[in-house]
Structure formats: structure tokens, C-alpha cells
Structure 1
Amino acid sequence: MELKRIIEALLFASNKAMSVKQLQQVFPELEQPEPADIEAAVELLVDDYAHRAIELKKVASGYRFQVKADVSPWVGRLFEEKPPKYSRALLETLAIIAYRQPVTRGDIEDIRGVSVSSNIIKTLLEREWVRVVAHKEIPGRPALFGTTKQFLDYFNLAALSELPTLQEMADLNSLAEHDQHLLQVNSEQQEANPQQSTNNEASTEAVETQTGIVGAKSAIG
């Protein structure tokens, strides 16, 4: 029970996810618990928070506390800074790297059928979502790009195996097209009745994000 309380405090106080090894190293060398004991304490904490607004989530870098998705819209209102919006081209590039890694810039351009802006690669590198994992042994030795733990953490994934399948992406694409149709209908209704109350901005942003992420699906497939 004492170990569980300590682990809870450590994860609560940390500003980033912590692995079992990192949690173990916080303890004095002669008092370090076994990894299995730490994992058991973590599982108990997961159960403790199962029905609360906060959850203990495993991501690529380890474990972290975070608010659950169903209450995140309210929590988001506490912060004035809005999350950045990314272009469809950037999201398509990221999707290709995630599903086809390691890939060169030339590979990405062949799949998308258009050139890749240097700013897109620069942004992905600066966000630490992708990194150079090697260089292809061909003339010019172009860089091979792959995703990072930060990419997995940001998208709430523990491993690449948790990425949606291409079929799931196709289903998401259909949903996005359906949402776009609803937004178009709603817009036409607004023009016909200006007094009707709307709040389309958030919905539009969600559709744009969905469409951008799944935009590379046909090319990847």
C-alpha cells in the first residue's frame, strides 16, 4: 500500500510520462522495489481511477495521469491557448511516415504525388514527432524518417500497433465525409434562417483534422 501511494505521488507530480525503470530509480539504490512490484502498484492505481474523471494511461514513454476524453472539452476551456491546426499536407505526410516508416522524402513524394515542403519536414522534426533513423544506401544517402515516442505520446498510443488499420481509417474517412455533408446542410440552413443559433467552429475543426489524417489512406493502401 505504501508503494502504491508513492507511485501515485510520483506520477501525479511528474510533468511527463514515467517508465517503470524511471520510477524505480527514484528510490535509494538499496530500497528500490522490483519492477514487477511497481507494475502491480500501477495496475492497482489504474483500477482505482477506472471510474473517475482522471485516468492512469500507458503511453510509449511510460505511465501518466490525464483527464478522460469525455471531460476534456470542459478542461480545455481553462486554457486560453488553443491547440495548433495543421495543414492537410502535413497530416498526410505524418500518416505516410507512421504507416510506411522508414521512408525518405522522395518516398513520401511518390506516394502523395506532389512535392513535400521543407517546412513540413522541419515542423515534424521540431515537434519531435519524427526523426532521422538512418540514411538510405543509394546515391545522395537521403535521410530515412520514422516516428518517435513523442509522436505516440501525443496521440495517446503505447505502440505503433495501436494505430488504426487502413480499414478503420477508411471508415473514419466515410464518417468525415458524412460530417462534412451535415455541415454543408447546416450552412445552407443558416443562409436561409440567419437567426438560427449555431456553434459550427469546433465541428468544422474536427472534420478538417479527421479529413487531413485520413487523407493519405488511398495512397498508403
Structure 2
Amino acid sequence: MNLFTQREQIKGVLESLLFVAEKPLSIKFLHTMLNIPETYLKEVINELAEEYRARNSGIMIIKMEDSYQMLTNPQYAEWIKIFKQHTNNKLSEQALETLAIIAYKQPITKAEIEKIRGVNSDYAIKTLIEKKLIKIVGKKEVPGRPFLYGTTKEFLKTFGISSLNELPAVFDFNNANAA
């Protein structure tokens, strides 16, 4: 394999890793993972970043200390905002489940939600807050004073109801089995 092909493949691997990484990737991590000299990695990443800059790409690679991250180009932020407004109205099953728990049990803490769901709810809560369907409504008067979550006016608007009293009744499976 010639050097050009190898360099292009390494560039493709680095581009893929930077694209899927949720956090900046350090040169040390990439060196350990790929077993490629750090100076060569920096050179290839900088070359890739320059290619994006030169063509005014919608994505860019930025350096933070000794780490690199791929981000959208802020020059196109308005287009991203428009795109998100048109595509960001679907909720995952986990977010819907979390939202239902909050709607029926509010005010409720994250720990209480997680006890009901049996799984971590950080991402679902973050998503619901970003979509303005829930908000922090206070802090519970217990040690640690965890946040209490409740629904918002946007929640009511999104689901076409004027108050929480219009939510459908919760079916009691325990009592249904006894009948």
C-alpha cells in the first residue's frame, strides 16, 4: 500500500472517529487506539480541518488543548435552527415514558422517575427540557434537595389540552386483575 492511500485511509478513520465522538478526542487517546505517532496524527487532523476550512464546509474540526472535536460550522447555525424546528418534534419511547410519569406524578424528582422506570433518565429529562415540555419547578425538601420536575404550558399546547385534568385516566392494572 502506498503512502498516499494509507494517509487517506488514516484521514478517513480519524474523520469517522471525530464524527461519532460525543466529546473531544485527545491525541494521546488516538495514539493509543490507532498506534500512530502523535505528531503524524496532529498533522493529518490539521490537514483535514484545513480541507473543511478551504471549502467553507458545514462542519469543522476545532482544537481544544490537546484534543480535537468535529462541530457544525457556526456560519450555518440559522439553517440548523430551521432544520431542527422542522424535524425535532418526535419523542423517543424513553422520552414519552418519562414525560408520562412526570405529567401524572408531578412534581417529581429524577430519582423517583428512575425508580418507576428502572433505568437512568438523564437523557430523556434533558431532551424534554430542551423541547420545553418539562421544567424544574422547585427543589424537594429532603437531603440533597433534588430538583422537582413538572410539565409546562408548551406540554399542554403540544398535546392539545388546556389543563392536566384533561389527561386520560390511568388504567389500574392491579385492580383490573382482581376483577
TM-score, normalising length from structure 2? 0.46
TM-score, normalising length from structure 1? 0.37
Q: Name the larger-Rg structure.
A: 2
